[in-house]
Structures are given as structure tokens and as C-alpha cells.
Amino acid sequence: MHSESRVFLTGVLCRPDVLRLVVGEVVGEVKLSSASLHDFQSDESVPGTWLAPHSIVQGSVLQTENAQDRDRLDFYCAVYGAEPTQVTVTPANGPEIVVQAYVAAQDTARFELPDRAQPKAVYTRMAEEIMLYFNELSADYVAARMPGIFRRATSYVATLAMPEDKVRDLSRDVVIRERHQPYMNFFAIEENDLQFRRYDGQLSDVVNRGTLHVGQVVVVLPYDPVRDCVLLVEQFRAAVFMSGNRTPWVWQPVAGLIDPGEAPATAAHREAAEESGLTLSRLEDAGQAYSSPGSSTEFVYMYVGIADLGKTQTIGGLAEEGEDIRSRVLSFEALMQALDSHQFHDLPLLSLALWLARHRDRLRLMA
């Protein structure tokens, strides 16, 4: 626990929306004052600072008022690998003062968006999830799972950019009473106690609803219009195994999570190369949809990828991600026969096969 003290804030903590989430209250101007720290450097994507001779960090000094403010700041910064350290800063108006700053190693992981134009609301969403675990999980546990938090935040912010409901006003028609996040690892589970507007115009009773936070996914079915064949990949799927299914090796299109800041089409090309060694000549947009809107946030971008399937590798996947993938090329006719005989158990594959059946003639004429 900490007594009242002054803290030098840098990087992402200089965003008022992030600071409100971390400290747990609205921070007024009277509590903040501009200052600079010499021989250190910072980045807008993280809350810490690190040694960098001849550099200057601009930031703000916050007067914390209670022990919980400092405990919350300590937890948030520790997740990013930054620890409280005594430093001397120079206020904009006044003599040097001794304060606490959060200092990290120079090589501490940062979570920079590839495109600087992307919404910085990603960092707000990350802070929102991180602070759900205050007094629930250790900072070390959360820190080890920060890539997943980063991915979920970028997915959430990207989803916010989708068109709004033209009929309903979500600020009135959905009321969140309480939010819980009882599980977090590679994926996360969130529960809300909420009310929603019923068709009779009244708000529902408070109900508990949960979701598996997955993020945005790309699925691409490689198709060779000259040879009139497709490529499928097979791999062990733990979720299928854990469901009790006795055939957990599943044939699917190429698929994978979209990396933070990555465009869906870019992810489609990347996954095709990683899983099957293919270079796609172009992508045909086959639609976007939630894979299971009753239980998961997974939003799928689907493509048919035009490719030369004359020479393909048999085994693919990234060893560092624990992937062990084999490929199989089969004719369009064999694909349809397998579809009709219910041999496939992957919903995106069924959707893409049916899309291909509808557009196959056009793609062959273009070849």
C-alpha cells in the first residue's frame, strides 16, 4: 500500500480516457501538471519509460490521493513491465521535484499499431480489460497474456467502425448492469448482467449472458480455376475433441486470426503462405459473418483465393504456434460429392464451397 504521493505519467497514461480507467475516477486538471524527465524515453503505446541518454520525456505529474490509486497504477504498469522508481522531473513552471515514475527495461514489449492512423481507442480498450483483473489476477499472469488482450482490443475497435443499427439506439436499448470476465487466456470469456429492449417496447428483466471473445478471423478456400480444384487443410482441433467428438482432425479451408492492425485480405495471403505454402494471385470476397452469434464474438472474413494448385506442399503450419497441418487437393466434383455426403464438419468450408458453386463458371471464364 502507498501513502499520498506524486507520480510522473508518460506514454499511454497521458491519455485521459486511459487514466480514468486505471485510477478509477475522473482526473481533474487540478491534479495534473506538465513536467519533463531528462535521459529517458517513452512511447504512446505503453505506460512506462526507459533509460535513453540525451532524450527528454514530456509527461504529467499526478497527485494521487489514496492508496488504491497507487495500487491500481502499480498493477497496470506492472502488466507492461514497468515498476515504480524515484526520479527527478522538471515542472513547466517551478523547480525540480522528486516523484515516482514507472520505469521499464528498454527491450520491454510494446504494442504499437502498424498504422499510426489507426484509432488509439485500442489502448483504451486494453486498459479496460486489464483493469478488470485488478485484485483478481497477478500482474505477471496478465502480462504473459498481453498479445491476446491486444488482439481482442484491435478486433473490438475495428468492429465499432461497422455501420450502426439504423432502427435501434444502443444507448437506450441495451443496459449493462454488471460486467464480469471470469476467464482469460489465449481467448477470454465475458459475462454481462444486462437488459435489452423487447419487441413490445419494454426493457427485459436483467439476464446473464456470456460470450467467448475470439476476435476477427480470416478463412480462404484456395481454388485453381484452370484445373478446377480446391485445396483443403487438415489439423487437430482441440475444441472438437473437447466436445466429445471422436474425429477431431478436421478438414477446413485455410484459416487464422487476423493480427492487430492487419487488413483481412493481408491476413488471407499470409495464412495461405503459412499453412499451405501457397501464393494467391487474387482474392474473391465471399462475405463476412459471425460464425456463432449466440456464443462467440468470432467474426469471419471469407475469401476464395485464386491460385495455381499444380504443385503444392503436403505439410505446413508454424512450429512456434504448435501447428501441424497437412494439405489435400481435390477436384470441384469431389468437393461437391463430399459436401452432399456430409463428410465436412466445418461451417466456413460449407459456406465457401456453396459460394464457389455459385461463382465457379465466372471464375473459370476469367482464368
Active site residues: 321
Determine the pLDDT at residue 116.
Answer: 64
Domain range list for the chain = 6-103, 121-213, 216-366
Indicate if the pLDDT at residue 90 is higher than 60.
Answer: yes
CA distance 155 to 207: 25
**Distance between CA 291 and CA 348 in Å, rounded?**
8
- The residues facing 86 across adjacent strands are 100
Fold of 6-103: Hypothetical upf0131 protein ytfp (3.10.490)
Listed residue (183, 184, 208) closest to 195, CA to CA: 208
Nearest to 186 by CA among 215, 164, 159, 158: 215
DSSP string, 149-200: HHHHHHHHHHHHTSPPPSS--HHHHEEEEEEEEEEESSSEEEEEEEEEB-TT
- Residues above pLDDT 90, as percent of the chain: 80
The whole-chain average pLDDT of the chain stands at 92
* Separation CA 146–CA 123 (nearest Å): 12
Q: What is the mean pLDDT of residues 145-167?
A: 93
Beta bridge partners of 184: 188
Q: What is the largest CA-CA distance in the chain?
A: 80
Residues paired with residue 60 on neighbouring β-strands, in sequence order: 9, 34
**CATH code that applies to domain 216-366:** 3.90.79.10
The pTM for the full model equals: 0.89
Q: What pLDDT does residue 203 have?
A: 97
As a whole number, mean pLDDT of residues 251-271 equals: 95
Nearest alpha-carbon partner for 180 in 172, 164, 191, 193: 191
